[in-house]
Amino acid sequence: MMVEATSAKRILASGKPYLIYGTAWKEEMTEHHVADAIRSGFRFIDTACQPKHYNEKGVGRGIMTALKELNLSRDDLYIQTKFTSIDGQDPNRIPYDANADLEEQVRQSVEISLVNLQTTYIDSLIMHSPMRKMEDTMKVWRVFESLVDSGKVYNIGISNCYDLKKFQYIYDHARIKPRHLQNRFYSDSGFDVELREFCQEHNILYQSFWTLSANRHALRSENVKTMANAKGLTPQTLMYAFMMRLGHTPLDGTTSKIHMFEDVAIMERIQNGEDILNDSEMKEMTLWLGIT
């Protein structure tokens, strides 16, 4: 029986970490998987206005199906979507007017997301990646800020930003500061050690993606398997526990109902105040992952 995961508001009020359901690459099965995720206890949903990798309309339909079935309201969920520049779009399926100026593209993208997601507001709007020029990055950010001012968007952030100086520049020049940084959690970026420290110091939530797939070598190791088994966990749920113990917010894109329930269960244990990993075990996990 799920108690603590009844609403996103309750989870946020706890001040404890949580999981986000990621909806990329699910295509025609998006509606089905999103509904299953909400049924399983996920209350945070991540998507993007990027038909190349996301079926945002399917996300909206899945949300509506689950809300009606579970007698939940829109406010019980936290919906996050993204503005994706033309560089990241399929040229044959750009969702907004490719000939409009950049600021108008952002506004059109958000309006399309509101329709796709069948909502009047977006809890978090993410810039899918920095623009090629910092000037353009800040143009997008100014529109994001105006959308917060208008009440259409509540929080803003950025994804795929691995350069600390760039992120600091955005933070320093932003009127409304980034609430989220969403990055791959992998060795190629040095696991974002300095960026994660910056986020912690400035009350920015670090969201990780590829949390499992980029670290399969460690999750297959005997050390991780042994620790997970001793705690009655899988290596995957142990990894999520590790990330949440760090104060981070992992994206979870599983399509398995069994794994959905397992993952929500570990989140609920953390929400209930349980320390899945002690300090010594955290150090061991850090070593096994190769984080320096």
Beta bridge partners of 206: 181
How high is the pLDDT of residue 3? Answer: 37
Ranges of the chain with pLDDT below 50: 1-5
How high is the pLDDT of residue 2? Answer: 40
With a CB cutoff of 8 Å and minimum separation 6, the contacts of 55 are: 23, 26, 27, 28, 30, 31
Domain ranges across the chain? 4-289
How high is the pLDDT of residue 1? Answer: 37
How high is the pLDDT of residue 14? Answer: 92
User: Which residue stretches of the chain are H helix?
Assistant: 8-14, 30-40, 56-70, 102-116, 134-150, 164-173, 193-201, 216-219, 222-230, 235-245, 257-271, 279-289
The one-character DSSP state at 95 is: S
| CATH class for the domain made up of 4-289 | alpha beta
Q: Give 172-222 pLDDT, tens digit per residue.
A: 999 999 999 999 999 999 999 999 999 999 999 999 999 999 999 999 999
How high is the pLDDT of residue 4? Answer: 40
pTM of the predicted structure, to 2 decimals: 0.96
